[in-house]
Structure 1
Amino acid sequence: MSIRAATPADAPRIAEIWNHVIRTSAATFSNLEKTPEGLAQDFADKAADGKTFLVAEIDGQVVGFATYFQFRGGPGYAKTMEHTVILAPRAHGRGLGRALMAGIEEHARAGGAHSIFAGVSAENEAGVAFHAAVGYAEVARLSEVGFKFGRWMDLVLMQKML
């Protein structure tokens, strides 16, 4: 098991993992699937902006990823980040989510970030529990802000001070 920076060669596998989550779960409210080309550009854009996109591997195969970005636009939010972390089912319970989180948190901290947010679907109870276990505190619950699968869903905002 290892954690490393994503490369353009990882984009098809990351798209596969992410699109499965988009199609089958309420873990993200998005229904727009990712493309390898778009992801490769995202890797480059993040690097140019001083951010990172990390992948987790088992036996040389990418099984998860994490990245972060500015929480909201504008200079007043420049030190506040938000992240995305997604694992393939076979990667759950192996410590890779924690390792990915530690990697992006350290990268964000080194870049001057003050805090980092997780926006977690309230229907994703495992995601809420995971974030609590790695030191995130629930700071808000936004009612019916996401719409997917024909229903409204709540968003749990969780924050960790870096």
Structure 2
Amino acid sequence: MGTIVRSAGREDIPAILAIYNDAVLNTTAIWNETPSDLAGRTAWFEERVAAGFPVLVAEEDGAVLGYATYGPFRPHEGYRHTAELSIYVRADTRGRGIGKALMGALVSTATERGVHVLVGGIEAGNEGSVRLHAAFGFEMGAVLPQVGAKFGRWLDLLFMYRVLSDEPPKPPRGR
């Protein structure tokens, strides 16, 4: 049986939590230094779903191997057509195409839902993530040097982006 990408349910939150906390504790993919707990990840999940954002999981043989989502790029109305994505893969399954499966599904979902631009904020030294984004047509946007710190070193933030549609936005109602 191959990898299945599907919408996450509440039953997937413990697996999502484990993947998230591993990234917090062992990688520079997430710049948080404090692990989350089940209540925190549950609140995060419920907020995402209530706001209409997808939370996807990649599963093989009933085991969640990774998750992906997108959410607001910035809180201001002018950015409402842009979303920032996140993809995390369980440490023991990296390099097996799980990230590619999640990215493909996430790009498709964002396109179907009318997202104009997807943005990835990546630790500039994360070559695997840079390659994954590039393989899906993301372009280099900007590098912000030393804007983060973790594990006793400065981190550079690389923004990569992909324009999903050339369709211009409809003006807000009443304008």
Structure 1 match to 2:98: 96
CA shift at 1:96, angstroms? 2.1
Q: Which residue of 1 aligns with 2:73?
A: 71
Q: Distance in 2 between matches of 1:98 and 1:147?
A: 28
Provide, for residues 67-118 of structure 1, a one-character-per-residue CA deviation record: whole Å limited to 9, x for no partner.
Answer: 0001000110100000110101333233221221122222222222100000
> Which has more radius of gyration?
2
| TM-score, structure 1 normalization | 0.93
- Write the distance in 2 (CA, Å) between the matches of 1:149 and 1:90: 21
Percent of residue pairs bearing the same amino acid type: 38
With 48-57 and 102-111 compared, the bigger mean Cα shift is at 102-111
More displaced stretch, 12-21 vs 62-71: 12-21
Superposed displacement of residue 141, structure 1: 0.6
The equivalent residue for 1:107 is 109
Unmatched 5+ residue regions in structure 2? 165-175
Moved over 4 A (4+): none
In the alignment, residue 65 of structure 2 is paired with which amino acid? V
Give me the whole-angstrom Cα distance separating, in 2, the residues matched to 1:134 and 1:38: 31
Residue in 1 aligned with 2:161? 159
Cα deviation, residue 23, structure 1: 0.6
* Cα distance, 1:147 vs structure 2: 0.7
Q: Secondary structure at the match of 1:140?
A: strand
How many residues are treated as equivalent by the alignment? Answer: 162
Asked if residue 56 in structure 1 is aligned to residue 31 in structure 2, the reply is no
Indicate conservation of the 8 Å contact 1:68/1:81, yes or no: yes
For each residue in 1:17-40, what CA deviation from the matched residue of structure 2 results, as whole angstroms up to 9, or x when unmatched? Answer: 111111111122211322222222
Superposition map of 1:140-151 within 5 A:
140-151=142-153
| Partner residue in 2 for 1:9 | 11
Equivalent residues of 1:7, 1:40 under 8 A apart = no
**CA distance in 1: counterparts of 2:92 and 2:139, whole angstroms:** 27
Aligned 8 A contact 1:50 1:111 in 2:
no
C-alpha RMSD of the superposition: 1.3
CA distance in 2, matches of 1:34, 1:102: 27
Q: 1:46 aligned to 37, 45, 48, which one?
A: 48
